């Protein structure tokens, strides 16, 4: 069959109408190909713009951005709008460096039906003290990230490392102290020793972490011996209370006794000085009388006699004098003499 056999109904060459239809179909095919090409180019351009724009990122006020290029740290960016080369060339890890984070040892705080509940983790909480007793300890650690790049790169899973090193530091502090100190009077020392050792470990690992606070939430004997231990603690507290009361009584009584002793000594000293002065005065008086007596014995004796009579009869109101050769008894009304009236006489 020749070409002309397919051309028309009579087997002749194709007519012009068929040629026009074929040309139109060819033009439409070309137009669709051009439109598809334009769509592809536009899609590539849009994809390229989106890919390039994907490097724009925002770092919050309390954050830092750690930029990685093929997994290697190349830059640390500050808060604000920043840009890095699109993935997979570069990517960024945003790290919160301002807010305080927390880790717990020996217990976990969980939310149950809208309320906070603390659950004990005994495999972490039970520790051995210096006097070979077992104590249950719960610890809360608060920390901040100070170096975002070190936090991301220097330690693999820094939260888990912090948890493990905190337990190590706590066991070290508890293991150097007797159970009484851990539970009662030396809790602050346990906290400080744990914080210092934990910070030393974080600095040694260059983890970019600063420990802000370490607080003992629980420090008690295990359940099996808790009641007996508390009895011992109460007995010790009673002993300390009585010792304190005795000390307070001593501090009250001893100063008063010392004050009383000082007062008595001062009184004795004053009495001694007064008696010495009096004795010296009497001695000087006696010596002066002796001097006068040596000069005029009779006159001195008479004067001393008169002075003695005056002292002996100072309170006497009447004096009767009866000479041996007189029948008249002179009456001396001393009070009247003192008032200036004349004396009278009384017959025997």
Tens digit of each residue's pLDDT (9 = 90 or more) over 48-60: 888 887 778 878 7
Average pLDDT over residues 78-97: 81
Please tell me which residue, 210 or 8, carries the higher pLDDT value: 210
Pick the CATH number of 101-110+117-220 from 3.30.70.270, 3.30.479.30, 3.40.50.720, 3.20.20.70: 3.30.479.30
Residue 6 pLDDT exceeds 60: no
pLDDT band at 204 (very low <50, low <70, confident <90, very high): very high
Instruction: Measure the CA–CA gap between 105 and 136, rounded to whole angstroms.
Output: 11
In the block, residue with structure tokens 């009869």: 313
Please tell me which residue, 272 or 34, carries the higher pLDDT value: 272
pLDDT digits (tens, 9 = 90+) for 229-238: 777 777 878 8
Question: Contact 345/331 with Cβ under 8 angstroms?
Answer: yes
Instruction: Measure the CA–CA gap between 143 and 214, rounded to whole angstroms.
Output: 9
Average pLDDT over residues 165-171: 94
| Nearby residues of 192 by Cβ (< 8 Å), 6 or more positions away | 214
Query: What are the domain boundaries of the chain?
Result: 3-52, 56-96, 101-110+117-220, 245-313, 316-348
Exposed / middle / buried, residue 319 (Cβ in 10 Å: 0-12, 13-18, 19+): middle
Please tell me which residue, 26 or 164, carries the higher pLDDT value: 164
Residue 71 pLDDT exceeds 70: yes
pLDDT band at 43 (very low <50, low <70, confident <90, very high): confident
The kind and range of the H/E element at 193 are: helix 187-205
DSSP 12-68: ----HHHHHHHHHHHHHHHHHHHHHHHHHHHHHHHHHHHHHHTTEEEE-TTEEEEEE
Question: Contact 73/67 with Cβ under 8 angstroms?
Answer: yes
pLDDT band at 213 (very low <50, low <70, confident <90, very high): very high
User: What's the whole-number average pLDDT of the chain?
Assistant: 80
pLDDT digits (tens, 9 = 90+) for 262-315: 999 999 999 999 989 888 888 888 888 888 878 888 888 888 888 887 777 777
Instruction: Measure the CA–CA gap between 98 and 145, rounded to whole angstroms.
Output: 7
Q: What is this structure's pTM?
A: 0.55
């Amino acid at each position: 069959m020749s070409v002309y056999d397919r051309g028309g109904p009579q087997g002749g060459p194709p007519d012009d109408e068929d040629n026009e239809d074929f040309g139109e179909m060819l033009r439409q095919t070309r137009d669709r190909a051009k439109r598809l090409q334009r769509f592809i180019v536009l899609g590539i351009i849009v994809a390229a713009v989106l890919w390039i724009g994907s490097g724009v990122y925002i770092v919050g006020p309390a954050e830092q951005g750690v930029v990685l290029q093929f997994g290697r740290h190349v830059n640390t960016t500050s808060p604000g709008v920043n840009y890095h080369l699109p993935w997979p060339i570069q990517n960024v890890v945003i790290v919160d460096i301002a807010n305080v984070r927390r880790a717990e040892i020996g217990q976990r705080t969980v939310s149950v039906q809208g309320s906070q509940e603390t659950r004990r983790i005994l495999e972490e909480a039970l520790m051995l003290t210096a006097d070979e007793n077992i104590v249950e300890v719960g610890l809360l650690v608060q920390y901040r990230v100070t170096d975002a790049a070190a936090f991301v790169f220097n330690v693999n899973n820094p939260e888990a490392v912090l948890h493990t090193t905190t337990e190590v530091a706590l066991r070290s502090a508890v293991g150097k102290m007797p159970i009484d100190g851990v539970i009662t009077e030396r809790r602050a020392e346990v906290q400080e020793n744990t914080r210092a050792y934990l910070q030393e470990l974080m600095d040694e690992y260059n983890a970019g972490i600063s420990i802000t606070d370490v607080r003992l939430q629980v420090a008690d004997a295990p359940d099996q011996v808790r009641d007996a231990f508390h009895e011992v603690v109460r007995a010790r507290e009673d002993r300390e209370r009585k010792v304190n009361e005795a000390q307070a009584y001593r501090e009250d009584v001893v100063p008063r006794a010392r004050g009383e002793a000082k007062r008595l000594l001062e009184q004795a000293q004053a009495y001694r000085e007064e008696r010495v002065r009096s004795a010296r005065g009497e001695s000087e008086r006696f010596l002066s009388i002796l001097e006068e007596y040596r000069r005029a014995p009779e006159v001195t004796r008479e004067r001393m006699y008169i002075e003695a009579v005056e002292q002996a009869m100072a309170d006497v109101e009447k004096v009767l004098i009866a000479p041996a050769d007189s029948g008249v008894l002179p009456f001396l009304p001393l009070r009247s003499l003192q008032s200036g009236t004349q004396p009278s006489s009384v017959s025997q």
